[in-house]
Structure 1
């Protein structure tokens, strides 16, 4: 178990929750980059840019809290990153329209919602600041799903 000292993070569950949040943000950013490469749709690109900025800001908040705690930054799993990139490339090669891109982003958001919800349930002793970050991430993903709906 990792040892850390911090006035900003109260316990180990908080660190683990923040690590999951930053990994989720990184995964979302990589997925948005992948989709952006495969679409020229202006409306979709604007939506991606909006949520890219919001995920980046949330990632910075997580990184700051983890840095202050002296904790490592968690990277998304290599297999998950490769699988997502491959799936995007294959599906967009077959059908590269706005609807397909929105569907892939929606699926990614739904996975993010499921993952962060599981982390919130698992790390029940996390402090309120860490929980608030995780809830911001979940809400951001839910909001993105809603904004993608008209593009499906």
Structure 2
């Protein structure tokens, strides 16, 4: 049986994967460097894969998935479009994605602490997402 903490953590992680995929989609067409683009494509795929796992577990427990906060999503969209209008280069994209990764790591760690009674499966998926975000930020540092 899933605890409320497990369900809540899974839902927050699910929303996070959707936010990450959406953010990558917003900038993908602006990336010029093929290596950078490949990093983003690979990371996007991993977010989708983890999101699918989360969705499957939630469905098994008759739970609905969670969409990203519309205000956070709107603010991200505005920031991305403003910065890209001013300077549409790979450095700007790397800066935006790095900021998103840092916010994701911060939020996911907060949820991991908040939902401390989550089961091992939920906690491990959250940690996997945290690692993915940290790795993406590290992988794109050379484009800053």
| Range of TM-score over shorter length | over 0.9
Cα deviation 1:70-103 (Å, max 9, x = unaligned): 1111100111111111111110111111111001
In structure 1, list runs of 5 or more residues that go unmatched. 1-6
CA RMSD of aligned residues (A): 0.9
3-state SS, counterpart of residue 27 of structure 1: helix
1:30 CA displacement? 0.4
1:42 CA displacement? 1.6
Does 2:128 correspond to 1:147? no
Q: How does 1:3-14 map to 2 (within 5 A)?
A: 7=1, 10-14=2-6
Partners of 1:22 and 1:119 lie apart in 2 by 12
1:32 CA displacement? 0.0
Q: How does 1:58-69 map to 2 (within 5 A)?
A: 58-69=50-61
Q: TM-score, normalised by structure 1?
A: 0.92
Matched residues, number: 144
Does 2:79 correspond to 1:97? no
Q: Which residue of 1 aligns with 2:62?
A: 70
Q: Which residue of 2 aligns with 1:19?
A: 11
In structure 2, list runs of 5 or more residues that go unmatched. none
